Amino acid sequence: MNSPKSEASAGRREVALRALLIVVCLLGTFEALASMMRWRTQRSELLELLEGPEKSADFDVVSQRVGLERTAHHGQLIVARALVYDAMTGGENLSGGLEASVARLTEARRLALEVLQQQPNSWEASMFLGAATYLEWSFRSDRRLYSESKAWEEPLLKAVEEASGKREPRRFLVTAYLETWDALSPAKRAFAFDLVRDTFRDDTDAFVGLASVWIDVAGDRALEVMPDRPRVWKQLEVSYAGANNWPAFSRAHQRYLEVLEQKLKRDLDEAENHLQFGDLAASRDKCLQVLIAAPRDGRFAPLVVRALDIFPPGLHGLMSTDKLREWLDWALELNTVSVVPFGPKTLGRLTDSIGELDAPTGALAALVGKDAYRTARYEKLEDAKWSKPWGRVLIAKTKWLLERGEVAAASKALDDVHRSLHDSVGYWLARQRVARAAADSQGLAVADDKLASLQKLSWDIAEWRKVGNRQILELYPEPLPQATSTLNIEVESAPGPGVVVGIIWDGSEVASQAVVGRDVIAVRLKIDPKPHLLELRALAGSRFDTGRVWIER
């Protein structure tokens, strides 16, 4: 049993502890209030840094974010980020020019140092300290960028190490290394090379932004670090074209096509898997991506067929329609030289996805697709079948009618072909087929003689036709004794630094060649004595003018 004296002592201690707790709480409250007041003042000061002579581009967004922060160092980092990126993107366009950018970077460095005093392990503060120092010296062309490189390098290295694989600090460090590449020691250059490789592998956006600089500094070793992705090779095309490095552009272009083809095949595999598990939306999106990304070339036509086979419904849309129309026009153009990249099923799905077509195009697509109902519907839409746009339709219709055994109707269709096409190879091949089906020996002899007169081994400049950025020539060669022959294409002029010309034969790219000034492109091909379609396209560089074309016997 406790004595009255001990109980009184215990009571006094309890009262004293309660009083101490109240004092501590009051001090904590006062400190919290004081901290809040200090942060409110700091917040206003921080936002004033973003205004300066003119507001930051993202002032409202940054202001809102700072207003939501409860701690000073987080707010300081938000403002430091805005100041650094403002200086980077604004550069000398800011009010006050270069000095305004440098002032922003100076403030960003100060804020980063203040955060590091409170949070030594903040990778963002280290990053902005290094980035602001590097950028300021770079903007000023300050020799300290090289002589005191540790001032920016060590904070950035620390940020890369502590940021657990985040992309941002790597981008800053790689950019700084590329600018100072010539001054790096062999050991540091080897380290930087590995860092560039790892960064480009994981961060395609960084590669796109830095590709041209990397090519300049790395020379022949540049390709060693390239991620094997279509977007990367496409960016390399842009970089090499900008440097007028046509041989390197051609190599990058060929690799781009190879890698793109592989990727699109994988995308279609994914589309099939999505469809198998009932995810129709994902399957449709993948198919649509393939149709949009695939270049209009015979090499990619099987992928278009497969995409339309996997998930044909619902492909009609704003983004896809123009691309799908390009594929349809390409297929119909090749049909004039009896190249058939798409079967009736694919053509039907293609036209369904595009929607309504003009009457001649719709009728031709229906004829090639062997759709009698749709052919008749389009023919009823327009009565002027004797006009030139309907000429291709009527020539194609003769083949369809002959397959149905309607010889007289086929002959009548040819009689309605516009007279401007009466000297074309397609018209006389159709006349030859009709005469043969009708056992018309006289008509057959006339057609044979006419076709023989149209066959030749050289074509002059006037026979080219231009469609957009494409130059097209229809050829009807004489029979050649050898299996392969040399097709010679004269380029009359390629002004300026030159051009890389893509040679497309019957819808497929078969070669590319750099041309500067005047030159002759020679391509080895298997050339059968039937109609062919030759297309030239500028893959990179300035415009060019075509000239004579001839085939060596």
- Segments making up each domain of the chain, as ranges: 40-177, 257-454, 458-552
Mean of pLDDT values over 308-325: 72
396-429 pLDDT, tens digit each: 999 989 999 999 999 998 998 888 889 999 999 9
Beta strands in 127-275 (DSSP E): none
CATH number belonging to the domain at 458-552, selected among 2.60.120.260, 3.30.720.200, 1.20.1560.10, 1.10.760.10 = 2.60.120.260
Do 40-177 and 257-454 fold alike per CATH? yes
Provide the token pair at 40.
Answer: 């409110």
149-176 pLDDT, tens digit each: 999 999 999 999 998 878 999 999 999 9
Provide the token pair at 352.
Answer: 């369904």
Which pLDDT value is given to residue 12?
56
d(CA 194, CA 189): 9
Mean of pLDDT values over 336-341: 90
Residue of 440 and 96 predicted with greater confidence? 440
**pLDDT band at 52; cut points 50, 70, 90:** low
d(CA 508, CA 295): 10
Which pLDDT value is given to residue 216?
85
Residue 303's closest CA among 284, 287, 285, 325? Answer: 287
519-541 pLDDT, tens digit each: 999 999 999 999 999 999 999 98
d(CA 351, CA 7): 98
249-300 pLDDT, tens digit each: 998 999 999 999 999 999 999 999 999 998 988 998 899 899 999 999 999 9
Q: Which residues contact 172 (CB under 8 A, 6 or more apart)?
A: 127, 130, 131, 134, 156, 159
The H or E element containing residue 97 is: helix 97-118
SS3 of the chain: helix, strand, coil, percent, to 5: 65, 15, 20
Which pLDDT value is given to residue 161?
92
d(CA 86, CA 106): 12
Mean of pLDDT values over 443-463: 94
57-113 pLDDT, tens digit each: 565 565 666 555 556 677 777 777 887 887 887 644 445 578 888 888 888 898 889
d(CA 108, CA 133): 9
Which pLDDT value is given to residue 351?
87
468 class by beta-carbon count within 10 Å (0-12 exposed, 13-18 middle, 19+ buried): exposed
Residue 214's closest CA among 247, 240, 184, 241? Answer: 240
CATH of domain 257-454: 1.25.40
d(CA 171, CA 387): 61
CATH of domain 40-177: 1.25.40
Which pLDDT value is given to residue 33?
34
Confidence check: pLDDT of 23 > 50: no
Cα-to-chain-centroid distance, residue 512:
20
Confidence check: pLDDT of 36 > 50: no
Confidence check: pLDDT of 51 > 90: no
Residue 374's closest CA among 393, 388, 389? Answer: 393
Confidence check: pLDDT of 435 > 90: yes
Which pLDDT value is given to residue 90?
64
d(CA 511, CA 528): 18
Residue of 473 and 315 predicted with greater confidence? 473
